[in-house]
Structure 1
Amino acid sequence: MTKWLNRIGLGLMAAAAAAMIGADAFAGEPSDPFQPTAQKFYLQFSIFAPGDLQCDATGPGVRTKLTRGITGAPLLRITGNAAGAEIACWTRDGSRYTTDVNRRVRYNTAGAVRATVIFQPGQEAAAVLVARDNESDRMVPTVYPRAFVKVQQ
């Protein structure tokens, strides 16, 4: 009986790897079915964020999803190669912002890293508060001052 269960398990693993390769080929990206993609980085904003703020992250192996919270502030979810993502935000008036906090933190499979940008009206830079999901006893929330900065044009 255990031989059959082992064969079924191996078959399911092979099917999952083939599905990943097929999805990546359809998306036009190179595939490595055994490349870990457990990095999750969520960038959210305080209530003082500009209402028209838009964000995106780019880079190899980076997947993003932009949603909005109840206050209208963006929530950028970055998965895949979150440590290699280049994060850029902008407003309609042409102001551009960037951060590299996603490159400073350590990732693990336990949970997502949540970063909250603490905007202060009229400032050129904002602090970023970083914490990890479900690990309040292990990872002390860290504040990175002036980590979300306005790009000079």
Structure 2
Amino acid sequence: MRKWLNWIGLGLMAAAAASMIAADAMAGEPSRGWEPTAQKFYLQFSIFAPGDLTCDATGPGVRTKLSRGITGAPLLRITGNADQARILCSRPDGSRYTTDLNRTLRYNTSGAIRATVTFQPGQDTGSVLVQRDGENDRLVPTVYPRAFVKVQE
């Protein structure tokens, strides 16, 4: 029975790959293989973050998605080459903030790195609490003081 289920699974995977190639061919685009994303870095903010803060990350091979939590604070998901991303957050008043913590951490394929910024209005810096997915029972979260800084113009 198990062999039979394995063959069905392989057949479904082959059908999915063939449909992706056919869709690319019909769209006139070259076919791309499946690329796993080993590096995931999620930048989130504490409840005290201003609701008008927006963040983005740029860099080679970097993919981002910005969403908002229930408090309105941004949640920036960075995948791909997260260790090469340049993170920049801004507010409508023109103030900008950045962190390069994503460039110094070690990534693994077991899960994302979640960084929570303790943003304090009126301060030029903020602390960042770093946790890894699936390692809550083995690793103590690490706090990096002054890792989120205001960009001086």
TM-score (structure 1 length as normaliser): 0.79
1:84-141 CA distance string (max 9 Å, x none): 1110000000000000111111111111100000012311000000001121123321
Letter in 2 for 1:107: Y
Matches within 5 A, 1:3-152: 19=20, 36-152=36-152
Change (3 A) 1:55 1:110: same
CA distance in 1, matches of 2:96, 2:17: 39
C-alpha distance after superposition, 1:38-92 (max 9, x if no partner):
2111000011112210000011111111000000000001111111111000000
SS at structure 1 position matched to 2:103: helix
State how far apart, in whole Å, the 2-side matches of 1:131 and 1:115 are.
7
CA distance in 1, matches of 2:99, 2:135: 23
Q: Secondary structure at the match of 1:83?
A: helix
The residue matched to 2:116 in structure 1 has which SS? strand
Distance in 2 between residues matched to 1:141 and 1:103, nearest whole Å: 18
RMSD: 2.9
Segments ≥4 residues shifted beyond 3 Å? 4-20
In the alignment, the residues of structure 2 paired with residue 119 and residue 37 of structure 1 have an alpha-carbon distance, to the nearest angstrom, of 29
Equivalenced residues, count: 149
Runs of 5+ consecutive residues of structure 1 not aligned to the other structure: none
Describe the SS at the equivalent of 2:41: strand
Which letter does structure 2 place at the counterpart of 1:87?
I
Q: 1:16 to 1:87 in 2, by over 3 A?
A: farther
